[in-house]
Amino acid sequence: MRNLLIVAAGAAMVAGPAQAEQGDWMLRLRAIMVAPNEKTGPVQPTFPGGRTSLDNSVMPEVDFTYMATRHIGAELILATTKHHVSGKDALAPVGRLASTWVLPPTLTLQYHFTPEAQIRPYVGAGANYTIFYSTKASNALETAVGKTKVRLSDSFGYALQAGVDFDVSRRFFLNLDVKYIDLDSRARLTTGALVNRERVHIDPFVFGVGIGTRF
C-alpha cells in the first residue's frame, strides 16, 4: 500500500496541475446535500403554536466556472432538490405536512488563491434565486384539515462559498465545496375559504463533493 501511494503521488506530480488559465472553463459534477438551517414562524391564524421544519436532501449537481483571470472566476450552479415539510410543536402530531421541489440557480464570483498549485482553495460570494415548484399538501395534512393548496413564494438572496480543488491528473481534479444561501420564503396554505400563512427562513448550507475538469 505504501509503494502504491508513492507511485500515485509521483504520477500526480508528473501529470502537473489541472489549474485553469485565463479564458478557460471548468466543469464540476458534484453530489450535494442541502441542509436547511431554518427558523420558522407560527402558522397563523389557525395554529399559532405550530411551526414547520424541512428535511435534508441529497441530489446530483452540475456547475460551470469561467476563469476571467487565473485568480478570478464566475461559477453558476444548476441543481434541483426535493424536500419534505413536517410539523413541529402543536403541528407535530400531524407529521408530514407537504413536499416541494426547489430550483436554486446560484451565481458566485470566486477568488482562487493558488491557481498554479495542486491544491487550490477558493472563496466566493454572489446571488441566489430560488424557485419552489410542484409543492403539494400531504395526505396527513388533508386528512386533518381538509383539501389544502400549499404555495411557497420564490426567494432572492445572497450566497457565500468556500471550497478546494485537488489534482488527480493534468485535466481532472477532486472538489470539496460548501455554500451558505440566504433563503427566505412565505408559505400560504389555502383550505377552502381559510388561508394560513407562515414566514420561513430556510438559510441552508449546501455541502458538495465531486470531480471536475477544465477545457
The pLDDT of residue 1: 46
CATH number at residue 45: 2.40.160.20
Q: How far apart are CA 180 and CA 207, in angstroms?
A: 9
pLDDT above 80 (res 105): yes
Q: How confident is the model at residue 21 (pLDDT cuts 50, 70, 90)?
A: confident
User: Band of the pLDDT at 9, cuts 50, 70, 90?
Assistant: very low
pLDDT of residue 20: 67
Burial bucket for residue 41 (CB in 10 Å: 0-12, 13-18, 19+): middle
DSSP, residue by residue, 26-48 = EEEEEEEEEE---EE--BBTTBT
Residue in 133, 42, 135, 132 with CA at minimum distance from that of residue 97: 135
Q: What is the mean pLDDT of residues 28-32?
A: 97
Averaged pLDDT for residues 75-79: 95
Cα distance between residue 79 and residue 189, in whole Å? 26
pLDDT higher than 90, residue 18:
no
pLDDT above 70 (res 53):
yes
Tens-place pLDDT, residues 156-193: 999 999 999 999 998 899 999 999 999 999 999 999 99
Dmax (CA) of the chain = 72
pLDDT at 10: 46
CA distance 97 to 148: 10
Q: In this model, does residue 120 exceed pLDDT 80?
A: yes
CA dist., res. 69 & res. 76, Å (int): 17
Average pLDDT, the chain: 91
Please check whether residue 82 is in contact with residue 43, taking contact to mean a CB–CB distance below 8 angstroms.
no
In whole angstroms, give the CA distance from residue 150 to residue 136.
6
Whole domain around residue 199: which residue ranges? 2-214
- Whether 11 has a pLDDT exceeding 80, the answer reads no
pLDDT tens for 169-179 read 988 999 999 99
Total of domains in the chain:
1
